[in-house]
Amino acid sequence: MTAAVAHAGEAAAPKPAGKSKRKLLLLAAPALLAALLAGLWFGGVLPHLLGLDKKTPPAHPADQPVEAAVAKAPVFADMPEIIANLNAGRRTSFVKLHARLELARPEDAAAVTAAMPRLLDLFQTYLREMHPEELRGSTGTWRLREELIARANLAAAPARIVDVLFTEMLVQ
């Protein structure tokens, strides 16, 4: 019976506290270091120390040099007016669209002018597949703009179209 009591006493004896503290230290130290580094990074201290902070541009356009303002003047190309019937089922519905293309560089104007028949074809075929409901609201206009930009960049491949600006859009 004394042997059984001795075994029970060994089982109930606490484990050494040194191993559990060591495990806690090994797990907590990297987590604490990562939290500290994240705080320094998002606080802006670490990017500044590493030289990764960007120079902020002047807040007002008048503060910029004249050469930079002249170099960034936008270049536009006018599109002819497009009238297309929409995919409205049995009833007839039309869209009248007049747009301007904003180009990335002045040199792109010649390429866009040369690709204008292809641009008109792509725009009209896309418009003919649209439903009048898809053109409602600012979301519909935004989706149309994004699709036309993608198609314009495909049609005028060496040139880059930055934006399609709608000067007139009527949906009947």
What's the pLDDT at 18? 67
Note whether 91 and 161 are same-domain residues. yes
What's the pLDDT at 81? 93
From 28, 54, 80, give the residue that closes a domain.
54
Model pLDDT for residues 10-23, shown as the tens digit of each residue: 555 555 666 788 88
- Helices and strands: H and E segment counts in the chain: 7, 4
pLDDT of 1 > 60? The answer is: no
Written as six digits, the tokens of 73 are: 């003047």
Confidence of residue 80 (pLDDT cuts 50, 70, 90): very high
In terms of DSSP bridges, do strands 75-78 and 161-171 run parallel, antiparallel, or are they unpaired? unpaired
Q: Residues near 44 by Cβ (< 8 Å), separated by ≥ 6? A: 53
Tell me the CATH number at 133.
3.30.479.30
C-beta of residue 94 within 8 angstroms of C-beta of residue 84:
yes
Residue 152 lies in a domain: yes
Of residues 2 and 160, more confidently modeled: 160
Note whether 36 and 107 are same-domain residues. no
State the first-to-last Cα distance of the chain, in angstroms, to the nearest integer: 100
Range of the domain at 41: 18-54
| 134 exposure class (CB count in 10 Å sphere: 0-12, 13-18, 19+) | middle
Q: Give the integer Cα–Cα distance in Å for 135 and 87.
A: 12
Note whether 80 and 157 are same-domain residues. yes
Note whether 32 and 79 are same-domain residues. no
Q: Give the integer Cα–Cα distance in Å for 162 and 156.
A: 12
Model pLDDT for residues 83-109, shown as the tens digit of each residue: 988 887 788 888 899 999 999 888 888
Note whether 104 and 166 are same-domain residues. yes
Note whether 122 and 147 are same-domain residues. yes
Note whether 162 and 83 are same-domain residues. yes
| 50 exposure class (CB count in 10 Å sphere: 0-12, 13-18, 19+) | exposed
Residue 1 lies in a domain: no
pTM of the complete model: 0.56
Question: Which strand (E) or helix (H) includes residue 161?
Answer: strand 161-171
Total structural domains within the chain: 2
Note whether 96 and 50 are same-domain residues. no
